[in-house]
Structure 1
Amino acid sequence: MRKRLVRLLLMPTVRAATPSDGAAIRDMLAAAGLPTADLSASAVEFLVAETNGALVGVVGLEPHAPAGLLRSLVVLPQARGLGVGAGLVSALEQNACSRGITRVVLLTETAEAFFTRLGYVSAERASMPPDILATAEFRSLCPSSAVCLFRDIPSS
């Protein structure tokens, strides 16, 4: 009961990131050990989760229709276990679907179990669409030990 009350009180708002969120997003990604080197040059669109005016989570989508690359899901430690990560991924998938993206792809070294619970399945990197394979994340930013996962997004 108490955890449910805390979850209701702390439920974040998910919104599109604005330019003023840029520094906080970079700080969150860097603190989590996630790549930031190519963010200025890439077309990553971020969503943020916000509670009481403070960012508690972030996820990015690099669109390459008909596929999209999920970039850099981070949830701050104080907001973990409250559904923030799942909420961000759901919002990203809805956004992707509305833009004609039918498959979301990601690489991870640490969150395979989390994404599997959300319906993502593993695949060989080489089986991904050429535009995804050409991204900096696939070419150089993520090590070959990272697991490739994808989920086909049903159209609304």
Structure 2
Amino acid sequence: MAIRELLASSGLPVDDLDTSAIEWWVADREGELAGVVGLERHGQAGLLRSLAVNDRIRGGGLGRRLVERIELHARAQGLSQLVLLTQTASDFFSRLGYERVERQTIPAAVRDSAQFRSICPASAACMRKYLSGFEGS
């Protein structure tokens, strides 16, 4: 699977891809997977998963466009917030309006996900963005 290969080559976890309910958005360039991002729904919150862009085209804005697309979809689905864990991209997500928060402030349904329970280490930054029209935005 091309998604699994891109995530693995980007140093992102792939352990739960077959067991988690993740919606994927992909971008391709000339028939090759250029980028991917996932959304895992947990009640009124979404867990932004596995944003990765092919090394050869990083820096061109594709990651930002993928995040914008998933945010539009999340709003349309009635989600109030997006949450993510990252070890390397907190500056990137800060520029897109995500704020670092303590893990215990995240909805329990999200904290019960495999990402929070076991896959991402406790040292990963926890970030949240309230989507427009919802409390905290």
When normalised by structure 1's length, the TM-score is: 0.83
Measured after TM superposition, the shift of residue 54 of structure 1 is 1.4
- Which aligned runs of 4 or more in structure 1 are off by greater than 4 angstroms? none
Mapping 1:81-120, distance limit 5 Å: 81-120=59-98
Q: 2: CA distance between counterparts of 1:101 and 1:79?
A: 30
Residue 153 of structure 1 pairs with residue 131 of structure 2: yes
Mapping 1:13-92, distance limit 5 Å: 23-92=1-70
> What SS does structure 2 have at the residue aligned with 1:35?
coil
Measured after TM superposition, the shift of residue 149 of structure 1 is 0.3
Code of the residue aligned with 2:103 in structure 1: it is: R
Check whether the contact 1:107–1:148 (CA below 8 A) recurs between aligned residues: yes
Check whether the contact 1:65–1:100 (CA below 8 A) recurs between aligned residues: no
Residues 20-60 of structure 1: CA distance to partner in whole angstroms, max 9, x if unpaired?
Answer: xxx00000111112111111111011101111221110000
Q: 2: CA distance between counterparts of 1:73 and 1:25?
A: 10
**Structure whose alpha-carbon radius of gyration is higher:** 1
Measured after TM superposition, the shift of residue 70 of structure 1 is 0.5
Question: Share of identical aligned residues, percent?
Answer: 49
> What SS does structure 1 have at the residue aligned with 2:36?
strand
- Superposition RMSD in Å: 0.8
Q: Aligned pairs, how many?
A: 133
Q: Where does the alignment leave 5 or more consecutive residues of structure 1 unmatched? A: 1-22
Higher-helix-fraction structure: 1
Code of the residue aligned with 1:108 in structure 2: it is: T
Q: Where does the alignment leave 5 or more consecutive residues of structure 2 unmatched? A: none
